[in-house]
Structure 1
Amino acid sequence: MLPDVQAASDVRGIPLDEVGIEGLRYPILISSGQGDKRETVATADMSVSLDAGVKGAHLSRFIEVLHSWREQLGSESAVGIADDLRHRMGSGRARVHLAFPYFLERLAPVTGARAFVEYNCAVTAVSERAGSSLALQVVVPVTSVCPCSKAISDRGAHNQRGRITIDAHPTENPTDLWFDELIDIAESAGSSPVYALLKRPDERHVTMAGYDKPVFVEDMVRNVAQSLRDSNHVEAYRVRAVNDESIHNHAAFAELAWTSAAGRI
């Protein structure tokens, strides 16, 4: 019988908040709002609390739990991973953070040409004896046209690539919210979405549509905030918009955090 050193007792009387693994890259299948599952590679951080009398955590069990759930990642199963991990490890708290590229098929606005657009996303699930919680993050590329440049220029207006980051906590039922809704909200907040594939008629359409909808970073954050507050699926959020300015040597940003329970945070 091989000795189980991690299960030995510890006499120092010091509990640990988190013990686990981080930076593990692992293939997963993730549900999309387009009705299918997409294969991607997640970077996983997983941890549990450790009681004062326990020497260490069995790190192999983290991998076993992740592997057993790798083909069914959705909002409900993300919480299931954390619950499973907590019970397997006999801990009072477990946390699972998975970050990955999330691909959605997009149609070009005129020709309908199909291509996948990549969005950087993450899901964080926490399981405690008192209950579970879920947080979603999306980082969405957008195009923005400067309203000031448009107003003062005889011809054209400067535009730039930007990114909108949304961190959202779903309401009590986590299955009501997934990445697709947050991505759609972010894309609608800019002057135009970013596409992987555009033919000439599409490029003409995107250029003119963006010119007709100029927005500052402040506008984008407020647009997202308005949509999230109108949603019945979000109880707290943080929104950050950043523009990589095309005519300045700095970036511009705006940010807002809000929770339905106690006002802004």
Structure 2
Amino acid sequence: MTLPDIAAQSTPHDHALDWVGMQAIALPLHLGDQRISARADAGVSLDDPDARGIHMSRLYLALATLETQPLTPQLLQQVLERFLDSHLALSNRAFIALRGELLLSRPALVSPLAGWKAYPFEIRARLDASGFHLEWQVNVTYSSTCPCSAALARQLIQQRFSETFEGQSLDYQAVHSWLGSTQGIVATPHSQRSTATLQVRLAPHTGEFLIQPLVDAAEQALGTAVQTAVKRADEQAFALANGQNLMFCEDAARRLHRALLQLPWLEAFHLRVVHAESLHAHDAVACSQHRWH
């Protein structure tokens, strides 16, 4: 018995559609040496105005290639070509988006401890008459200490120092003890957990997704990546790193821009930093880009 194919029936609507497909498909990926639980959006254009619909099951089955092979730009292009080959005369453009989290082991600043950090990423690719197009992004979390708040805190400490020691002959031990007390350090600057979203395009013929090198370059430029497992010595080292890397959102964006310019395998990038303010009820944001259009 032949089963009916309703999607193959013609329709009187006489209207093409830009994108038809599925989203949030559960899919395991091989990224680097990791097997990642991801979600995929898959779709094609419906350019034949007389066709009622596409063959979504064919898109779903084509995604199976991503389960068994390491994820590369070339593999994504092959999957998109299968999307179009399975929709001849129906579709001229194919799309895919992949979302997941890359887990990286990160060492503590001083102690021998280490722990895992999750880096959310998204990969978007399309294939059309102009060729294969690919861009991807990753989120990097870091700490940012406000330079203005640090300066105001230092001023209050100076004022308390004057109130305590004015007119006295300074004694080293007394000053040393005062600096280590809550009576001396009366104010501290405010810091906040912050996020950088790095959206990039790879240079031609780059054969792999270099997510970890991108993360490493960003965290090195910022100097205050959030930590995993720590001891008190690591927490003290983190406080020192924050004090030596005071940053407005503008400072962080410029640091990242300079760092990304040094990566020869990037063709273009757009970055966005968000400082989730601990002083204000709103966030501070800065963006920058290079050859992005």
Distance (whole Å) between structure 2 residues aligned to residue 18 and residue 229 of structure 1: 34
Return the letter of the residue paired with 1:15.
A
Q: Deviations over 1:130-160 (max 9, x none)?
A: 3101101111111112122222322542211
Structure 2 match to 1:164: 196
Q: What are the ranges of 5 or more consecutive residues in structure 1 without an aligned counterpart? A: none
Structure 2 residue ranges without an equivalent (≥5): 155-184
2:64 aligns to what SS in structure 1? helix
Cα shift at 1:178: 2.2
How far the C-alpha of 1:177 sits from its partner, in A, is 4.9
Q: 2:58 aligns with which of 52, 56, 61?
A: 61
Deviation of the 1:217 alpha carbon: 0.7
How far is the alpha carbon of 1:241 from its aligned partner? Answer: 0.5
Identify which of 35, 39, 42 aligns with 1:43: 39
Map 1:31-180; keep pairs closer than 5 Å: 31=32, 36=33, 38-52=34-48, 53-71=50-68, 72-90=70-88, 91-154=91-154, 155=185, 156-175=188-207, 177-180=209-212
User: What's the CA shift for 1:208?
Assistant: 0.8
2:192 corresponds to which letter in structure 1? Q
Q: Distance in 1 between matches of 2:273 and 2:266?
A: 19
Give me the whole-angstrom Cα distance separating, in 2, the residues matched to 1:112 and 1:84: 48
Contact 2:218 2:259 in 1 (8 A): no
- Alpha-carbon distance, 1:188 to partner: 2.7
Contact persistence 2:72–2:208 (CA under 8 A): no
User: Is the Cα–Cα contact under 8 Å of residues 217 and 241 in structure 1 kept in the other structure?
Assistant: yes
What amino acid is aligned across from residue 170 of structure 1 in structure 2? L
How far did residue 39 of structure 1 move? Answer: 2.3
Matched residues in 1 for 2:199 and 2:60: separation? 26
Structure (1/2) with the larger helix percentage: 2
- Which amino acid in structure 2 is aligned with residue 74 of structure 1? T
**Normalising by structure 2, what TM-score?**
0.80
4+ runs deviating over 6 angstroms? none
Higher relative strand content: 1
- 2:35 is matched by which residue type in structure 1? E
> How many angstroms does 1:28 deviate by?
2.5
Aligned length: 256
The one-letter code sitting in structure 2 at the alignment partner of 1:14 is H
Same amino acid, percent of matched pairs = 29
Greater Rg over alpha carbons, structure: 2
Measured in 1, the distance between the counterparts of 2:281 and 2:130 equals: 49
